[in-house]
Amino acid sequence: MKKVFLRSVSWLPALLFLGGFFFYPFGRILSLSLDSSALAPANLERSASALGFTLYQALLSTILTLLTGLPAAWLFARFEFRGRSLLRAMTAVPFMLPTVVVAAAFNALLGPRGWLNLSLMALLDLDTPPLAFVGSLGAILLAHVFYNTTIVIRLVGNALAHLDPRLVQAARSLGGGPFDAMRRVTLPLLRPSLLAAALLVFLFDFTSFGVVLLLGGPQFATLEVETYIQAMHLLDLPFAALLSAIQLGCTLLFSLLYSRLSARRGVLLSPRPADSNLRRAKSLPARLFVAGMALLLAGMFVLPLLALPLRSVTVLDAPPGGSAGPGTGASAAYYRELFINRQDSVFYVPPIQAAVNSLIYAGLTVLLSLGMAFPAAAALSRPGRLERLLDPFLLLPLGASAVTLGLGFLVSFGKYLASPWMPPLAHTLIALPFVIRTLQPALASIPDRLRQAAAALGASPRRAWLAVDWPIIRRAALAGAVFAFTVSLGEFGATALVTRPEYPTLPVAIYRFLSLPGGVHYGQAMAMATLLLLLTTAGILLIERLRLPGMEEF
């Protein structure tokens, strides 16, 4: 009885937190969405339009991602070549980057002041940028491909890498051609992984917010962008709640479909070690395929990330009061501008203050996440009936979009939004499931006999925890802390709705400065995005270094 009571108490912090800051806000959204003003015919028509465009751009993005990802999956699953591991790792980096960093990177490469437009203007002696990339549907689609190609590479590529090639050889020996072997053998075995990858990519594209807002603009009204506009600019909270309810229902439906498909993955006949299927390209077509795909992937994933820091140190417009003139080349002028408020407005604080705000919020997110994750992960490490019942509730925040989460805070805690705790509370909701999943395997790996031996030697519970548990779980705890810190630094959707204008975070400040005219504001945005890129990349590398062998979930 005492054990059951202690296990129940372990769940209390996380369940009370989810109840107060997830279920209650979403209940308010659902009730507000049924308001008569929200169900006006004009709102229903606009909701249908936003839903239609959201599905349309998500479907297009998914098709383009599959067209890019499937050849890339074949490349990494079947061929050994120099730089293979590095290139595969580079394809995974964008998936963890904040949306504002990705938007800034594409701005630096293809935007009005990006490298391609600047080069064409210099080459053709033009006064205006010849390419209108930002503000187009193509920008949204390309950024989604940049983000999500790694999903196809990982899910489909891993299944393909473990597929026994003798199955295809048997089909060929029975008279089947290459197309028949692909259609009758390879595709049926890969179908579960292929469908799961396609649905997961579609889900991420469907809930995309930062990419659509920053690279597409408000004229591309997805459900997420329309919710943001209605809540923050038009102050129509009932209509925003209706849009969020539609988005949440669709997201949960897609999540359930993905869960069912994921349960069917991994059933392969005669699975082989992945390395056993790798070979050097010998024929000319194979060599051309490997070289072409490697160059395409390198250009797609390296150039945008390289363009961002280079653009942040290239001064094309002289800062007010500065000595750097247009076209003076490499300079730290934009980084010096991070300490200056050129707008002289309380709503446009010096960018460095936004960085300080982000670091403070990230620190609070780490403390809150670890404080609730430890007892919940400890209970899950020895699961019983209660844990199996409550475990799915921990994953529910993953099925909700950040914008919907922010709107829930807005309608539920409007008078408390001035509190500096609102952003870290929202960030903690997003980070908590991942932190729990990081700690749980480490806690489950601790043998009970070690604790019993410590107790037999006279160690107190606290001493036993420090001597036995902590040395085993400290790497996982640090990885969880870094993960929560990184998530908080880059979170944009919820933060844009719950952060006070005079206390922006780095992502919010980058969005503001990108929307302002003038080369100096653009340079400040590039400098801030570069700082966020470096911090996020360092966090990703540290998580990979701290991850224990065999713990592949994160």
pLDDT at site 320: 46
According to the CATH classification, is domain 1-34+313-317+328-554 in 1.10.3720.10? yes
- Tell me the helix, strand and coil percentages in the chain, rounded to 5: 75, 0, 25
Nearest 5°: the CA angle 139, 144, 149 is 135
pLDDT at site 57: 93
pLDDT at site 322: 45
What DSSP element (H or E) covers 329?
A: strand 329-330
Distance, CA of 247 to CA of 344 (rounded, Å): 38
pLDDT at site 157: 81
Contacts with 374 (C-beta within 8 Å, 6 or more apart), sequence order: 439, 477
Residue 279 corresponds to which tokens in the numbers above? 């070979």
Residue 330, helix vs strand vs coil? strand
Distance, CA of 473 to CA of 467 (rounded, Å): 11
pLDDT at site 4: 54
Question: Which ranges of 396-469 would DSSP assign to H, the alpha helix?
Answer: 402-412, 422-444, 448-456, 461-464
- Mean pLDDT per 10-residue section of the chain, whose length is 554 residues: 59 85 87 80 88 93 93 86 81 81 87 85 84 86 91 84 64 58 64 84 87 83 86 82 85 74 53 62 84 89 86 68 46 81 66 89 93 85 70 71 83 79 89 85 79 75 76 84 88 84 87 80 86 83 63 42
pLDDT at site 325: 40
Neighbouring C-alpha atoms within 13 Å toward the C-beta of 410: 28
* Domain range summary for the chain, segments of one domain joined by +: 1-34+313-317+328-554
Cβ neighbour number for residue 336 with a 10 Å cutoff: 14
Q: Helix 187-206 to helix 41-78 angle, to the nearest 10 degrees?
A: 140
Distance, CA of 226 to CA of 246 (rounded, Å): 12
pLDDT at site 166: 61
